[in-house]
Amino acid sequence: MKLFEYEAKELVRKYGFETPKGVLVRKGDDVRKAIESAGLATPVVVKAQVLVAGRGKAGGVKLAKTVDEAVAISEQLFRTPIKGIVPSSLLIEEAIQHDVELYAGIVIDRSERLPLILVSRYGGMDLEEIAREHPEAIIRHYVDPEKGLKDYEARFLGKQLGLSGKQLDSFISFLKVLYAIFMDYDAELAESNPLALLSDRVLPLDVRVIMDDNSLYRHPEFAATEKERLGELSEREIEAREKDLAYVELDGDVGVIGNGAGLTMTTMDLVYEYGMRPANFLDVGGGAEAEHIKEAVKFVMSDPKVKKVFINIFGGITRADEVAKGIVMALKELGSSAKPLVVRLTGTNEELGREILKEVGITPYTDPLEALEALKKM
């Protein structure tokens, strides 16, 4: 689960580190009154609170030199989709004069099974962009989770960035706060980008935290913003969540259903490779039963932009006969509104599943490439 910027910064302050002075405003709030009540000095930065990457380039972060300009910008942002999402809240902060922007982040390196700290003097751009344009500028350091991040480790990283004196002391404090948040909140990512370098300290101008969804029961304090977080999803994605379907909406016209995230992603890549565009990602998961398959097929076929559907199942704990039963049930319930489909089906109870589908006129494929050729000709 992604935290909003204002939530992530609340955590930073909770752990005793300063963030830029600011105020959160929601749609319908008196922006002028909020700015004046918070005692913010102009210029200010008005930032849309949306859970998408690259919001600045998409027009979601704007500088206002006066309160009047901040009010006007806020009114505009509350009406403007940022990568398709209209913000329901804005974070307005005092603009911080600075010349150098750093990057500091922590992720899990799954191959090493350890927290990995990444720092760089090239802040203000995506980590992927830094890695592509300045790979030598990313400094990496693994942390032993049993021992935690020690002062000497943070000091080493700060010196690698060329910091000293008060700047170094501040950097050490911030990195330890970021690590504490990363561990205490079961994060998959915790980063500050940019981390402004001032004359006597560092200051996180932006903070991102992504928590492991499996840990959310341990952090009920974020349940209050769940509705706001759902606003980041499309109507169909919200409906899919209610149906317990792992679904992401895309802009193509080929419905894609697979079992397992890896297989489903590969299926989407193959659809692209064959000159078509997927309308969605839908992973039915392992061990899916007929009823779940039925709901998945009906849901994908209910999308008006879907013209045809590709179902790619490699059965392990997922039984091919259950998949076939679910497909047949869905087609019977949909009747004339059913969309053309191609099925690749192999694995556990494969022969039984194939017989079930053949009874309703569907000949399943075992080779996914042959299935895609048939799909392309539809």
Residue boundaries of the structural domains of the chain: 21-94, 100-225, 235-377
| Cα 175 to Cα 178: distance, rounded to the nearest angstrom | 5
In degrees rounded to 5, what are phi and psi of residue 208?
A: -125, 140
- Between 21 and 84, the more confident residue is 21
Q: How far is CA 27 from the centre of its chain?
A: 24
Residue 80 CB burial class (10 angstroms; 0-12, 13-18, ≥19) = middle
User: Does 122 participate in catalysis according to the annotation?
Assistant: no
User: Does 249 participate in catalysis according to the annotation?
Assistant: no
For residue 231, the model assigns a pLDDT of: 60
User: What CATH superfamily classification does 21-94 receive?
Assistant: ATP-grasp fold, A domain (3.30.1490.20)
Q: Which residue of the set 6, 7, 103, 247 is catalytic?
A: 103
In this prediction, residue 57 has a pLDDT band, given cuts at 50, 70 and 90, of confident
Is the pLDDT at 288 greater than 90? The verdict is no
Is the pLDDT at 16 greater than 80? The verdict is yes
Q: Does domain 100-225 correspond to CATH entry 3.20.20.20?
A: no
Q: Which residue of the set 93, 153, 191, 322 is catalytic?
A: 191
Residues 6+ apart with CB under 8 A from 141: 116, 117, 119, 153, 156, 157
Residue carrying the six token digits 């297989």 = 263
CATH number of 235-377: 3.40.50.261
Is the pLDDT at 84 greater than 80? The verdict is no
- Between 316 and 373, the more confident residue is 373
For residue 147, the model assigns a pLDDT of: 96
**What value does the mean pLDDT take over residues 231-253?**
84
Among 73-82, 125-134, 291-300, which is the least confidently predicted range? 125-134
For residue 342, the model assigns a pLDDT of: 97
Is the pLDDT at 59 greater than 70? The verdict is yes
